[in-house]
């Protein structure tokens, strides 16, 4: 299908964040067990240092998560996730009171705490409300943007034997129903995440990436999170630590397919990717841009 240009914005604490230029969401894992070891930060010093580095590198949104959802993981208890998130948000808000923060959680109680106590700006839910039936009503109360992701199964079993009769049809039906439910309770600021690596085979992941433009039918912003995932390092027979080059290539394809937000471990490289893609897409259109680069 031909890509159409949409002008999306997010309401970030009363300020509009425009997505005409794609945004970079930097990952801050307050966990000891995330799949990419270099993204784990548990100490106060480490959290502050990582946050400062990402801001210096030009991150637009910081996504704070305190419960690893990598395949096969035993999920941390709600009380432990609650304490980790509170600690991280307290530190960040004390130094950067207005910086856009997303909280990666599938638990409504933690979403409520993050927004009510620390003015978190976005809730990023891998489960689409499937793992906590109170999530949608909580989002209606909180009135912040909601990232709706597709996942087949749960983190414990999602990669054991993912199967679809018609993957795109099933994911589109899933999103259609979830969007309807969210809008019925009054949630309208919705971001879609196809859920790369969450109940998907290698072929599923690459088909989803190739057909990313098809998601424009929903007329909602798209988030893509492929950073250092197994769809890169298992295919190339390497490791997450060696997957930066592959991540940049897939981020480029995602931007070309209409991604509005890139969720990444490596902010500087993603920011450069966005900048180069913007020049590529406007080549021959923006004469001032051409002149400035000569």
Catalytic residues: 229, 263
Which residue, 197, 210, 204, 193, is CA-closest to 257? 210
How many residues are given for the chain? 294
Which residue, 108, 69, 112, is CA-closest to 89? 112
**DSSP 8-state code for residue 22:** P
Contact between residue 217 and residue 224 where contact means Cβ atoms under 8 Å apart: no
| Token pair listed for 183 | 């809008």
**Residues in a beta bridge with 101:** 62
The SS3 assignment for 223 reads strand
**Phi then psi dihedrals of residue 188, to 5 deg:** -120, -20
| Token pair listed for 165 | 């009769």
């Amino acid at each position: 299908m031909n890509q159409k240009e949409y002008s999306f914005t997010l309401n970030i604490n009363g300020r509009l964040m425009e997505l005409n230029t794609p945004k970079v969401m930097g990952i801050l894992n307050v966990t000891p067990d995330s799949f990419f070891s270099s993204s784990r930060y548990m100490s106060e010093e480490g959290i502050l240092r990582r946050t400062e580095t990402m801001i210096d590198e030009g991150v637009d949104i910081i996504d704070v998560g305190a419960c690893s959802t990598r395949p096969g993981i035993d999920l941390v208890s709600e009380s432990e996730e609650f304490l980790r998130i509170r600690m991280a948000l307290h530190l960040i808000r004390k130094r950067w009171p207005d910086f856009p923060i997303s909280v990666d959680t599938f638990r409504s109680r933690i979403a409520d705490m993050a927004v009510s106590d620390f003015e978190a700006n976005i809730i990023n839910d891998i489960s689409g409300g499937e793992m906590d039936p109170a999530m949608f009503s909580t989002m209606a109360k909180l009135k912040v943007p909601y990232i709706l992701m597709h996942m087949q199964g749960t983190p414990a079993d999602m990669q054991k034997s993912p199967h679809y009769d018609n993957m795109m049809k099933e994911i589109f039906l899933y999103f259609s129903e979830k969007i309807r439910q969210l809008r019925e309770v009054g949630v309208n600021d919705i971001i879609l995440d196809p859920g790369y690596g969450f109940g998907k085979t290698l072929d599923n992941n690459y088909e989803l990436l190739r057909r990313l433009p098809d998601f424009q039918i929903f007329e909602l912003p798209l988030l893509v999170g492929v950073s250092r995932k197994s769809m890169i390092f298992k295919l190339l027979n390497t490791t997450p630590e060696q997957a930066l080059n592959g991540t940049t290539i897939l981020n480029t394809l995602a931007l070309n397919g209409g991604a509005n937000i890139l969720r990444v471990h490596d902010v500087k490289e993603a920011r450069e990717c966005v900048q180069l893609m913007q020049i590529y897409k406007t080549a021959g259109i923006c004469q001032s841009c051409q002149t400035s680069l000569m």
